[in-house]
Each structure stands twice: as structure tokens, then as C-alpha cells.
Structure 1
Amino acid sequence: MVTIGKVVRVFDELYPPDLAESWDAVGLVCGDPSTDVQKVYFCVDVVAATVDEALDWGADLIVAHHPLLLRGVTAIPTTTPKGRTLHRLIRAGVGLFVAHTNADSALPGVSDALAARLDLQDLRPLSPRPKQPFHGIGRIGTLPTPLRLARLAELAAKALPATPGGIRYTGDPDRLVRTVAVSGGAGDSYLGDATRAGVDAFLTADLRHHPASEHTEAGGPALLDVAHWATEQPWLVQAATALTTGLRNATVETFVSDLVTDPWTNAVVPVRQL
């Protein structure tokens, strides 16, 4: 029989806690390590909709990418969304485990799954960790065949989970792209890394106006801005597969959620008047 503790040990090998950023909160959030586990549910965000789905499915453990409790708290009353969520999980006897920036930096990790969707080859970290050069945030890779920027954007839109906001990009649509950097989640703090790496394009999420504008004015790589959730959801399949492999002779049932938990639920594309 598999226990929560055994699942945690597998994930700690796959995504070592010491790879997490100092500000992060990863690991077991709630649950008894000795509790038996038959069903493990994977999601990006621990929100009401994903908890509903997990409980309806009969999950014993939720594995999430984003921490439920990233900042310190002194109370978790049910009058708050996070308090309600945590109380629901505890009452249902469902554990919660988080792998966040440790999964971002691990090999393979979040950005490897993202790079695989674009079929990038010869991967290396975008921002390598000191003294651990094979680990780090983001990945740089080469496309099997060079593509025009507009075609790359179309490919990304088809390859990644769909969200109402779609994909935005900046740069000459006819620019030829051979090398691409990707980073799951918010990535504008790695614009400098992408420029120094000399890649042709950088795909990430949550690009802010001023950093993106200044980057473009300086002639940096073309930018593709994707919904945050869409850049990280591909990792869930990778993590679920890695768990079943890591358990070796033991087995659990896994469920990978494709519920879109991006906060932007609608978009309007303006129609230009002729």
C-alpha cells in the first residue's frame, strides 16, 4: 500500500526541496504521512473548482504546483477562501502536497514539459543554478526546423492548453526563429538571460508592459506571452508519470486536471473599422 509519506519521498527525489527559492513554500501542506493513498489528483492551482473536482473523483492526495499558503498566516478561518479550502481538505481527509520552484528548477521540470510541447531539442537551463549547472529556471532549445515568428506563435497556440487570452507576441512576424527560450510561469525577470543567451524568441507568461517594451526597444529576442496557467499545466502529466514510475512495484491511480484556472475568463478582440 502507498502512503502520503511514500509519495512525498518520491517527489522529494524528483523535485528536491533545496532547489526551491528561499521565499517559496513547498512540501506537504496538510495530511498524515501514514495515510494510505490510492488516488492522486494533479492541478496547477488549489482553488474551489479544482478541490471540487478532486473530492468528486475521490482523491486521497492533491499534488499542486502553486502553493496554497505562500505567505505566513496567523489564522485560517473558513471566512477566507484559503481557510475554506484547507478546512474542506482536512475534513475530507485529503492531503495536499506542493512542488513549486523546486519543480521549476528540477531536471526534468516544469520548463522541460513546456519545451516538449514545442518539440525543442538540445535543452539547457535558461538561468542555471550556481554549482548546479544542469538545474535552473527555464530552458533553451532548438526547433527541429526554423520557423517564422508568426508560425511559431500559431504552433504554440495549438500545442499549449487553450485560454481565453490566447497568445500575444511582439516582433517582426516574418522573423526567422531557430532557438527558443521558455520559462513556465512569470518570466520577465529572465528577459536579460534570454538576451544574453542570444536566442531568437522567448516564450513565457505574465510579461509586464515596461520590461517588455524596454526589452523590445533594445532589440532583444522576440517575445511570446502566454497565460500563466497554460505554461505550467503540461508539467502535470510529467509529474504524474514520474510518480507512477518512482513508486516502482506500488501503484496509485492518477488524475491530471485540465480545468482552466487562469483568472482571466473572457477576452474581447476589437474589430477595426474599415
Structure 2
Amino acid sequence: MSTTTVADVIAALETAYPPELAESWDAVGLVCGDPAEPVTRVLVCVDVVGETVAEAAELGAQLIVAHHPLLLRGVHGVGTDTAKGRLVHRMIRTGTALYCAHTNADSATPGVSDALAVALGLRVLRPLAPHAADPTTGIGRIGELPSAEPFAEFVARVGRALPPTVPGVLGAGDPDRPIRTVAVSGGAGDGYLGAATAAGVDAYVTADLRHHPAGEHLETGPAAPALVGITHWASEWPWCRQASAVIDAAGAGNVDVHVSTRCTDPWTLRAG
């Protein structure tokens, strides 16, 4: 039986999520670890935080595959007197490599928003904001339900489809409005409110919706899509299962892939 290496897993991930699709400001790829090291166990997660790094160590994983970069902005050191430095040192000590696929996974087909759309029971039609060079790729997805359902039922559908979080799922719109066409964007997506409106969809599902952009959007009139607000982690968690399937195929049965179910949203309490 052949050995699967960190480099083998990276090659599979970069075929599925080409690095050239990443935004210019992004930081994707191998963060720490030796590409030549063998891999028998991988942890896939959204965020590289103390909890998921500890989970990888508990599992004996030689590789963490994360959506969000650990070192997105320029750093001049990774001393253990910083939060991220402590994580880097812990991964090195436990022999755990880290690979991140961020906006390249957002834009790839299938990618982050495809996973979200599928989780909600949508048939994906096209990207919400397609790339000019390749309109089959891009940010967000537009999809449709098998049949129309009231907005209140659709919000409940979203709540059932995604892992529970303390903030939960919020809806903004007429509860009786029929919903058939839906735009989704994993992660912070209020920058695509205009694109969702232009697409003529009935509802838009995304994370980190801010007060003023959401309110101004709804004030544009009854044709504006109803809004469903979810947490950032929940919106991107379905991608973990998609990425795990990519790794499974690359490992040819040699790699045990675990999807982390530990909620890494920062919100842990709710009053009222």
C-alpha cells in the first residue's frame, strides 16, 4: 500500500481549489509542516484556533486543513507570547502540518457556497458574482428549491440544515412570501446584496449581515430579496465535508479524514 504525503493531499486540494482563484490579498497554501511527511489522519475545520489545534492533537492528525488562514496579515514573528505564535509552536511540536484554502475555495466550482446551497436543498444554477475570465467560477451561488415555500418555512429549513449556534438563524422579510429562487454566499456576504437583488432571487442567505446595509437593502422595495442571517462558521462548515471528500479520494483509503464539529463561532452566550 502506497504512502500518502502532505504533498499528495495538497495536490488534490489545489486541483479542487486552484490557488490562482484566490483573491490577491489572501494567504492560502501550506502554513507549516513538511510536504514530504506521511499522512494517515487529517482534521478538516473552518477556523485554526486553540480548540481545533487541540482536537487535531487528540486525534493524532498529521495535517489540519482549514478554510480560514491563520496568518492572513503580515507578521514579523511567531513567538509564543502571541496567540497565533502559540498555535504555530503547538502544531510544530505535535508534528501537525497546516494547509489553508480560503477564497480559492470560495470561488471554485464546486466550492464553499455550493456546499451551503446543497445543504439547504437547492439546485445550483450559477455563481452569484461570476469571475470575468471564467463565469463558471465566482463568489456565491444562485439556486432554486424544488418548489416554493413560505419565507417562515424557508428560515426554519436553514435552521435545520446547518449546525446549531448560539446566535441562531435570523430572517428579515414577509413570513408568507413565497421563496423559490435563493442566493447564498458563505462567509460575510453583505457586499453582494446588490448582486442578489439584480439576480431577482426571492431570498439571500449569508453571514455577518450588518445593520445598515441590511436595513437599506430592505428599504429598496418589496422586490428586494428577503434576508436570512446565519453565523460565519455555520455558513462555511458544510464545505468541510466537501473538502473531506476530496481528501478521501486522494488518500485512496490510506487516510482517515475527520470533520471537526466543534463550533468556533466566538459567540457562546445569549440573553433573552
The correspondence of residues 1-274 of structure 1 with structure 2, limited to 5 A, is 1-219=3-221, 220-247=224-251, 249=252, 251-269=254-272
Deviation per CA, 1:228-270, whole angstroms, max 9, x where unpaired? 00010111011101121234x462110000000000111123x
Preserved CA contact (<8 Å) 2:171 2:226: yes
Preserved CA contact (<8 Å) 2:168 2:231: yes
1:176 aligned partner, one-letter code: P
Preserved CA contact (<8 Å) 2:26 2:72: yes
1:132 aligned partner, one-letter code: D
Q: State the TM-score, normalized to the length of structure 1.
A: 0.96
- In structure 2, what is the equivalent of residue 272 of structure 1? none
Question: How far, CA to CA, are the matches of 1:218 and 1:108 in structure 2?
Answer: 32
The DSSP-based 3-state class of the residue aligned with 1:261 is coil
The DSSP-based 3-state class of the residue aligned with 1:75 is coil
1:45 aligned partner, one-letter code: D
**What is the number of equivalent residue pairs in this alignment?**
268
Q: Shift in Å at residue 98 of structure 1?
A: 0.2
Q: Shift in Å at residue 169 of structure 1?
A: 1.1
Preserved CA contact (<8 Å) 2:124 2:141: no
2:24 aligned partner, one-letter code: S
CA gap of 1:176–1:44, structure 2 versus 1, over 3 A, is same
Preserved CA contact (<8 Å) 1:204 1:224: yes
2:267 aligned partner, one-letter code: W
Preserved CA contact (<8 Å) 2:204 2:228: yes
Question: How far, CA to CA, are the matches of 1:8 and 1:70 in structure 2?
Answer: 19
Question: How far, CA to CA, are the matches of 2:118 and 2:270 in structure 1?
Answer: 28
Question: How far, CA to CA, are the matches of 1:141 and 1:246 in structure 2?
Answer: 29
The DSSP-based 3-state class of the residue aligned with 2:135 is strand
Structure 1 alignment gaps of length 5 or more: 270-274
The DSSP-based 3-state class of the residue aligned with 1:2 is coil
Question: How far, CA to CA, are the matches of 2:31 and 2:270 in structure 1?
Answer: 34
1:165 aligned partner, one-letter code: P
Preserved CA contact (<8 Å) 1:2 1:250: no
Q: Shift in Å at residue 27 of structure 1?
A: 0.4
2:154 aligned partner, one-letter code: L
Deviation per CA, 1:115-143, whole angstroms, max 9, x where unpaired? 01111014210000111111011110011
Question: How far, CA to CA, are the matches of 1:108 and 1:99 in structure 2?
Answer: 13
Preserved CA contact (<8 Å) 1:169 1:222: yes
Deviation per CA, 1:95-126, whole angstroms, max 9, x where unpaired? 00000000000011111110011110142100
Question: How far, CA to CA, are the matches of 1:12 and 1:250 in structure 2?
Answer: 19
Question: How far, CA to CA, are the matches of 1:201 and 1:184 in structure 2?
Answer: 14
Question: How far, CA to CA, are the matches of 2:63 and 2:57 in structure 1?
Answer: 10
1:184 aligned partner, one-letter code: G
Q: Shift in Å at residue 145 of structure 1?
A: 1.4
Q: Once superposed, what is the RMSD of the aligned Cα atoms?
A: 0.9
